[in-house]
Each structure stands twice: as C-alpha cells, then as structure tokens.
C-alpha cells in the first residue's frame, strides 16, 4: 500500500503526462520571431517542413545543425523548409551557439516555450516532419548519426508527393 501511495504522489507531482504532437494530425500553426522578421507555419503550406526544437545546452543539437544545413542545401530547391526553433530564455545563448555552429536554416525564437508546449516536447532536440498539406508525417526525439538515413529518406518521400 505504501508503494502505491508513493507512486500516486510521484505521478501527481509530475503533473499531466503528455505525448508529442501526433503523426497524421494537422501541425499546430504558430507565428514566431526570427532575425529577419516573423515566420508563420500556415504560410508554408505547399512546402515540406522539417520543424526542429533545440536549445544551446543540448549536445545532440550541435550534431543536428550540420545535417540540417546539408538537407536545406540539398532539398531547398525541391520545396524543403527547415525551421529551427530555439527554446533558450536568453537569446544571447542561442546567438553564442550559432556563432560556434553556423546555420543556413531559418532560426525562430520561442523563449517562453509556448509553441514547444503546443507540440508537447518530450526531449531535445525534437523534430516534426510536416507534409505539403500541413500534416505531421513523423516525429523524432533526439539526434544520432544512425538517424540521418531514415530522416533523409522520409524527406525525399514527401518531396516526391
């Protein structure tokens, strides 16, 4: 009985357990600031969107940026748009990170985590591959070298549709 009580208190202290935004569901629209103005997801319908949430303290994020740069360079002309949403509360942390790990993708800022909450992130980085109709095709938590081939294959598949 004590174990059940402890488990109940533990679950209550964690709050509501959430899962990431679901595959085959419409991607939640958002508008976020960038260094060039703002970006709104709904205005990208017709594009394949790779939406990546990251933070300066995230070591796998350092590995994902070169890959995202390569994907944007390789497939941007075919309709791929990559948005890297930074979740640092202080923009200076993101600026320092980007000075060390330059990017060629659109960087948006969500310091209050409102968009991240809409997408119910469970780890860093978390990415969502969104098809041309605005539907989430794939969610992915983390980033490993072994992920690259499958992620690129999914991008290629959606670009051909």
Instruction: Sketch out the chain's domains with CATH numbers.
Output: 20-160 (3.40.30.10)
Residue among 21, 24, 74, 78 at smallest CA distance from 51: 21
Q: How does residue 23 score in pLDDT terms, banded at 50, 70 and 90? A: confident
Q: Which helix (H) or strand (E) holds 156?
A: helix 148-160
User: E-strand spans in 41-117?
Assistant: 48-54, 80-86, 106-109
Quick check: 155 and 80 in contact, CB under 8 A? yes
Tell whether the model's pLDDT for residue 37 goes beyond 80.
Answer: yes
Q: Higher pLDDT residue, 17 or 78?
A: 78
Q: What is the pLDDT of residue 24?
A: 82
Tell whether the model's pLDDT for residue 12 goes beyond 70.
Answer: no
Residues in the chain: 161
Mean pLDDT of 32-56: 97
Classify the phi-psi angles of 19: left when phi > 0, otherwise alpha if psi is within -120 to 50, otherwise beta. Answer: beta
Q: Higher pLDDT residue, 84 or 7?
A: 84
Tell whether the model's pLDDT for residue 30 goes beyond 90.
Answer: yes
Q: What is the pLDDT of residue 21?
A: 62
Tell whether the model's pLDDT for residue 128 goes beyond 50.
Answer: yes
> Highest-confidence range of 17-31, 42-56, 137-151, by mean pLDDT?
42-56
Q: How does residue 11 score in pLDDT terms, banded at 50, 70 and 90? A: very low
Quick check: 52 and 85 in contact, CB under 8 A? yes
Q: What is the pLDDT of residue 122?
A: 86
Q: What is the pLDDT of residue 20?
A: 53
* pLDDT tens, position by position, 91-124: 999 999 999 999 999 999 999 999 999 999 988 9
């Amino acid at each position: 009985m004590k174990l059940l009580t402890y488990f109940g208190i533990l679950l209550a202290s964690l709050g509501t357990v959430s899962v990431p935004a679901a595959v085959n569901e419409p991607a939640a629209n958002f508008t976020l600031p960038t260094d060039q103005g703002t970006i709104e997801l709904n205005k990208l319908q017709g594009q394949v969107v790779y939406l990546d949430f990251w933070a300066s303290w995230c070591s796998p994020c350092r590995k994902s940026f070169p890959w995202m740069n390569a994907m944007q360079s390789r497939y941007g002309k075919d309709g791929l748009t990559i948005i890297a949403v930074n979740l640092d509360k202080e923009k200076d942390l993101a600026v320092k990170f980007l000075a060390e790990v330059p990017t060629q993708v659109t960087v948006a800022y969500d310091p209050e985590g409102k968009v991240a909450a809409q997408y119910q992130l469970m780890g860093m980085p978390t990415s969502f591959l969104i098809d041309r109709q605005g539907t989430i095709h794939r969610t992915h938590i983390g980033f490993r070298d072994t992920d690259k081939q499958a992620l690129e294959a999914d991008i290629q598949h959606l670009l051909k549709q």
